[in-house]
Amino acid sequence: VSSGEHGTPVQISVPPELAAVADAFNRMTRKIVEQETRLVEQARRDGLTSLLNRREFDLRLEERMDSLAAGGAPFALLLGDVDHFKQINDAHGHVTGDEVLRRVAQTLEANAPDAENTFRYGGEEFALILPDSSPEVAQQTAERLRRAIGELSPSDAALPDVTMSFGLAFCDAPLDPDALVRAADAALYKAKAQGRNRVVISA
């Protein structure tokens, strides 16, 4: 216990009158381990959407870049932003805005190639790392996600019209992770400027 290792129950021979004490100690140990596990998981997750958070995104992107530098497969980064989200909040209220974000997160996670590489990047912006992906496959994935988001509103009368714009950047050679994010973000900006509800690929 003094070393901070709480995961191993104490196995000792005790008189019957002390068995209850040993059992209570082991139950306490299990609860401590479970609580620590929950806290670690909560620290990785966004509180509203339960997606992995920005900190986890930064770690995963750096890991993916290190893997690529070591001879790993190319990958793509997809940034998506809910179109006209401020107007949704203004017209329908923040409770509805939060519900839109939750539904968008659920839809992205359900349709992503790898749910554990789907993140809430911040505000109404989401990020997906598409591992082992070619430019063609990454673009097909982005279009599939865009269509899935567009189908949210007709299937749920409680939601306003929801669309997303996406910026896609492909990575087949190691570079600074921030540079890849900037490339995807620039493509996302172009998608917004070109009318929204579309996928733009970084040049």
Q: Which residues make Cβ contacts (< 8 Å) with residue 201, sequence separation at least 6? A: 135, 139, 168, 169, 170, 187
Among candidate residues 124, 136, 143, 151, the one labeled active-site is: 124
Name beta bridge partners: 199.
Answer: 166
The closest of 148, 143, 140 to 104, measured between CA atoms, is: 148
Strand, coil or helix: what is 119?
strand
How far apart CA 91 and CA 195 sit, in angstroms, is 21
Nearest alpha-carbon partner for 101 in 167, 177, 160, 23: 160
Residue 124 falls in the annotated catalytic set: yes
Structure letter (DSSP) for residue 117? G
- How far apart CA 88 and CA 61 sit, in angstroms, is 31
Region class of 73: left (phi > 0), else alpha (psi between -120 and 50), else beta: beta
Active site residues: 124
